[in-house]
Amino acid sequence: MTAALRLGTRKSLMATTQSQMVADRLTALTGREVVLVGVTTLGDVSRAHLTQLGGTGVFVNELRARLIAGEIDFAVHSLKDLPTKQDERVVVAATPPRDDPRDALVGSGKLSDLPAGARIGTGSPRRVAQLRALRQDLEYVPIRGNADTRIGKIASGELDGVVLAAAGLGRIRREAEISQVFEVDEMLPAPGQGSLAVECLAVRDDLIELLSVIDDPATRAAVTAERSVLAALEAGCAAPVGAFASGDGHILSLTAAVVAIDGVRSVRKSASGPLPAAMDLGRELAAAMIAEGAGTLMGEQAH
C-alpha cells in the first residue's frame, strides 16, 4: 500500500477548509490518501510579528521550511499571500480552479446606504484607497486578526462594516453575512485573490506529476499575469495595487491599478494577450503604469 501524503496547513479555519478541499479533490482523482498536518506559523502566534517581518510571507515561509525539512509532502497557501520572489527549492505544482476573486462588505447594508462617518474596518491600503474612491465620507479603520475577529467588531458596535475577500468568507461559512460584493471594476482585487497555490519541493518529480491533475491552466495564466504586475512594480502585499485577469481559454484580459491612499489619484491600465504570454503581459502592463507615475503613487504609502 502507498503511504498517505502529508499536506501541511496553517491551523485557522480558512486554511484547514481550503486544505481539506484540495485533499478531497486529489483523493477523488488519484485514489491517494491525504492527511492534514497542522503547522503553527509566526504570523499566527503574533500579529506584531506580522508587521515586523513584513507581511504575510511569514505564513508561507514556515510551511516551506517544513517541506524542506521533509516533514510534509506538499502545502496549500492562499495564492495572494505568496511573496512574488519564489524560493527555488519549491514549485507551485498546482493552481486549482479559482474561487470568487472579489472583495465583499460585511455590514448592515451596501456601501452607498451607510451614513456619513460610518466606520469600516480594513487593514489593506488597496481596499482603503478604492473604498475612498467610492465613499470619501466614511471612516476607514485599520484592523488585524482573522476574519472572525474582524466581523466580531460589528456585533460589538466598534465598526459598521468590514471588507474581506468573498472567497475567504465562503471558506469559513460566513457568506450569508455579506451585504455587498464589489464588482472588480469598482474594487480591483489583490493579485491572486480567491486562488490557491499547491507547493511541493522542486525535486519531487513524482509529486509534481500527481498534483498536476488538480491544476487549472486558465487560473494559472490569470494569476501569473496578476503577480507579474506586482513583481514588476516591486510591490508587496501591503501595496495599494489591484490586478485581475480573466480569459476565454485563448486570450487573457488583464487590468491593474495603483491607487493613492486618498482614493483620488490613480494609474489604471488594461491589456490583453495570449494565455502562454501571461508573464510578459503583466510585466509590460506594469512598465506602462510606471511610465504614467505608478511608482510615485506607491511611494506615498505610509506602510
Q: Which residues bind ligand PBG (CB under 6 A)?
A: 56, 78, 80-81, 164-165, 167-168, 193-194
Nearer to ligand PBG, 77 or 119 (CB): 77
Closest contact distance (angstroms) between CB of 178 and ligand PBG is 12
Nearer to ligand PBG, 120 or 167 (CB): 167
Nearer to ligand PBG, 98 or 269 (CB): 98
Q: Is the dihedral of CA 278, 60, 261, 98 positive or negative?
A: positive
Closest contact distance (angstroms) between CB of 15 and ligand PBG is 9
Q: Are strands 119-121 and 103-107 parallel, antiparallel or unpaired?
A: unpaired
Closest contact distance (angstroms) between CB of 30 and ligand PBG is 24
Closest contact distance (angstroms) between CB of 260 and ligand PBG is 21
Q: Single out the residue of 302, 300, 251, 293 nearest to residue 275, CA to CA.
A: 251
Which residue has the closest beta carbon to ligand PBG? Answer: 168
Nearer to ligand PBG, 168 or 242 (CB): 168
Distance CA 178, CA 142 (A): 20
Within 13 A of 53's CA, how many CA atoms are on the CB side? Answer: 19
C-alpha cell at 46: 503574533
Closest contact distance (angstroms) between CB of 78 and ligand PBG is 3
Nearer to ligand PBG, 170 or 263 (CB): 170
Are the beta carbons of 94 and 18 closer than 8 angstroms?
A: no
Within 13 A of 270's CA, how many CA atoms are on the CB side? Answer: 9
